[in-house]
Structure 1
Amino acid sequence: MASLVDLAAPGMHTDGFWDPITSTLDWCEANYQFSYYIAELANSFSNLFTIVLAFFGVVHTWRQGLPLNHTVSFLLFALVGIGSFAFHASLLYSAQLADELPMIYLVSHGFFSLFDTNPGFGTLNDPKTRLLLVAEVLFDVLFTWSYAVVYRNPVYHQVVFGLFDTGMVVRGMYLMRQAKTEEDPKEKDGRLTATSAATPRTVRDVVIPRSVRKDMRYCLTAGVMSFMVGFALWNVDNVFCGNVTALKRAVGWPGAFLLEGHAWWHVCTGYGAFLVFTGVSYMSVDGHSASRTSPVN
C-alpha cells in the first residue's frame, strides 16, 4: 500500500530484474538487496498475510451463505494484497496502480454497501440496491480516470482512501447504534427468521442480538486501532528512514526484517481491514445465527 517516501531518496536503488523503476513512490527498504527478481522482499511477502486473511473471509462468507456483496468485499481485499505484492516486487507504475486502485474499489464497495439496509442487504431487484451499485461503479470509474490519467498524486489517493475508510466505520457504528438491541421475538434456537424481502425496513427495524453487537463493536474498534498502529509504524519508516536503516545494519539480517515499518503497515492494515469487513458483515444478520456470522469467534 502506498507511502510517501520520495523516489529520489539516496541509496535506495540498485539494479534488478524489473529496472528501470517507474513507480511514483519508493520505500525505506533497500531495493534488490536479497533477490534479483524481488525489489523489496519484506514489503512484498508481508502481503501474503493479507491474501490469506482475504481468502479466509471469502470461504467464510460463501459457506455461511451471506449476501454476495460480502464475498465481493473479501475478493477485492485479496486483490489489494496481490496488487501490493506485485508493486513492491517490481516498483513499476502499472503494478502501483494494481495496488492503489483496488484499495479504492474495496473501501468504496464497503461504504456504499452500508447504505443498503434492506433485508439480506438487498437484491438486484431492489431499486435502492441498483442505485447504490450504479453510484459505486460510476465513482470507481471516475476515480480511476482522475488518478491514473489526470492527477497522479499519491496524496490524492490516500485522502480518498482515508475518507471512505473513516466513513465506513462511522456508518457501521451508526447502524449498530440505531438498530434494535433486543432479541428478535421470532428467534428460535439461536437462529433469526428472515424478514420478508418484499417488506421495506428502516435502520431501526434491524435487530442485532446482543452477542452479535458485542462482536461488531470489537471488530470495528479493534480494526480501527490496528489501522492506527500500522499508520504510526508507516510514518516512523518514512520520517526516520536514515536512522532505521542504520539500525537495520547494526542488528543484521534476518533480525532486521522486523524493523521494516512498511511491512508492518501491511500486516496491521491487513488485519484491520479483515476486522472492519467482518464487522460490516454483521449488518446481514437476518437469517443467520450470531455464531455462524462470526469468523473471529
Structure 2
Amino acid sequence: MPSWLPSIPYPPAQAEGYWSPITSTLDWCEENYYSTPYAAEIVNTLTNLIFPYLAIKGCFNCYSQGHDRVFFVAFVGYLIVGLGSFAFHATLKYPMQLVDELGMIYTTCLMFWATFEYRRPPPIPLLLGVFSVSLSLFITGYYHYLQDPTFHQNAYAILTAIVLFRSMYVMEVNLRPYFRRRHQMHVKVLQSNLMDERERAEERRKDERDRSILVRMWFMILVGLSIFLGGFAIWTLDNKYCLTLRSWRRALGLPWGVLLEGHGWWHLMTGTGAYFYIVWGIWLRHCLNGKQDEYELIWPSLFTTIPRVMRRERSMSGADGNARKTR
C-alpha cells in the first residue's frame, strides 16, 4: 500500500453473524461479516441499491408519460430482482438466493413475451403467454431440483440473448427505411403516382427522422451492452482470481479495497445495463406504434444522466398556422 494513501486495516472476516448459518449454494468473493454482523457481504448488499433507485425512476416515468403497462411491470420485476439480491447478499440464505435469481428469470420471460407477442393476431399472444409462464415454471422447478447455479446462469444468458437479438431485428425491419420499403413495396408502387410533392417531402422527413432515431438507438444499445458485458467480465475475474483480489484488498486497506469488490461492480454495471434495455424497449415500442413525433429520448449527458423516454413538447399551432396560410 502506498505510504501516502490513508487507510485503515481490514477487520478480520467472521464465520458467524446475525443471519448464520449460511444456506445459499453460492458464497461470493467478498469476505463475510468483516464489517458488520448484520450483513454477510456489505459491499455486495449496498451496491444493489442502484436497482430500487432506477426502478422507482422507471416506474414514475412509465406512469407520467403514458408508456405501455408491460414496461411498468418490467420495472417492478427489476425492483424485485434488486431487493432480492440485497436480501441474498445480506443473509446468504437459500430462499433469498431464489428470490434474486428467479426474479431475473421471470423479468426476462416477461420481456420475452412482450417482444414476441407484439402485433400478433389472437390467440398467439395468449399462447406465448402460456409458453412464457410454463418456461419460467420449468426453470424454477428444475433449478430447485439441481441447485446448480450454472443452470440458472446459462438459462438467463440464453433468454437475454434471444430477447436482445429479436428486439434488434424488429427495430431494423420496422424502422430502417430500406427494409420498411421492401416490406411495403407493393403499397409504395401503387401510391407513388398518387403522391404530390408535399407528401413526398413528408416521406423524406420521416425517413430522415427514422435514420436519426436508429443512430441514437444503436448508440444506446452499444453503451448499455458494453456496460452489461463489462460487468460480466469483472464478475468473471472476481470469481477466477478471488484469493489474489482478497490479498490486494487487505494490502490496500479500507476504504480503497472496496474498489476491488468485483461482484459489487457487477451489480452496478448490470443494473445500469438492464435499465438501458428497458428504456430502449419503451422507445422502440412507441416507434413501432408510429409515435416517433410524440416521444423522444432524453439523455443530455452520457456519464452524468440516465436516459428517459418523454413526451415531446409539441408546438404544432405555429406549423398549422403556416399550413393554413399556404392554402
Q: TM-score, normalised by structure 1?
A: 0.81
Paired amino acid for 2:164: V
Question: What's the CA shift for 1:33?
Answer: 0.8
Alignment match, 1:130 = 126
For residue 107 of structure 1, report the CA deviation from its aligned partner.
1.3
Equivalent residue number for residue 152 of structure 1: 147
Residue deviations 1:178-233, cap 9 Å, x none?
A: 114349x7xx9xxx9xxxxxxxxxxxxxxx83343233222322222112111111
* 1:114 partner SS: helix
1:136 is displaced (CA, Å) by 1.3
Give 1:34's aligned residue. Answer: 35
Structure 2 equivalent of residue 177 of structure 1 = 172
**Residue 70 of structure 1 aligns with which residue?**
71
2:295 paired residue number:
292
Give per-residue Cα distances to partners, 1:251-275, cap 9 Å, x unaligned.
1111111110000000110011111
Superposed CA offset, 1:8-57 (max 9, x none): xxx97521001000000001111111111111000001000122112211
How many pairs are equivalent?
A: 264
Cα distance between partner residues in 2 of 1:84 and 1:291? 37
- Asked if 1 retains the 8 angstrom alpha-carbon contact of 2:231 and 2:270, the reply is yes
> Deviation of residue 291 (structure 1)?
6.9
**Residue of structure 1 equivalent to 2:191:** none
| Runs of 4+, deviation exceeding 3 Å | 287-293
Higher helix share: 2
CA distance in 1 between counterparts of 2:293 and 2:130 reads 31
RMSD over equivalenced CA pairs, Å: 2.7
Give the Cα separation in 2 of the matches to 1:222 and 1:132.
Answer: 30
Contact 2:81/2:99 (8 A) holds in 1: yes
Q: What residue number does 1:162 align with?
A: 157
Give the alignment's TM-score, normalised by structure 2: 0.74
Matches within 5 A, 1:259-270: 259-270=260-271
2:220 is the counterpart of 1:224: no
| Residue-by-residue CA offset, 1:149-168 (whole Å, 9 max, x unaligned) | x2111000000000011111
Matches of 2:291 and 2:172, distance apart in 1: 20
- Mapped to 2, the partners of 1:34 and 1:236 lie a distance apart of 23
Greater shift after overlay, 150-159 or 62-71?
62-71
Residue 103 to residue 12, structure 1, CA distance change in 2 (3 Å): farther
Please, which runs of 5 or more residues in structure 1 have no aligned partner? 1-10, 193-207
Cα distance in 2, alignment partners of residues 32 and 270 from structure 1: 24
Could you say which residue in structure 1 is the equivalent of 2:112?
A: 111
Structure 1 partner of 2:84: 83
Rg bigger for which structure? 2
| Deviation of 1:289 (Å) | 4.1
SS at match of 1:294: strand
**Cα distance in 1 for residues equivalent to 2:27 and 2:38:** 16
Q: Deviations over 1:64-104 (max 9, x none)?
A: 21111111111111110000000000000000001000010
Instruction: Check 1:111–1:58 CA distance in 2 against 1; reply closer, same or farther (3 A cut).
Output: same
Quote the sequence identity (%).
Answer: 35
Partners of 1:15 and 1:32 within 8 A in 2: yes
Q: Does structure 2 retain, via aligned residues, the 8 Å contact 1:234–1:261?
A: yes
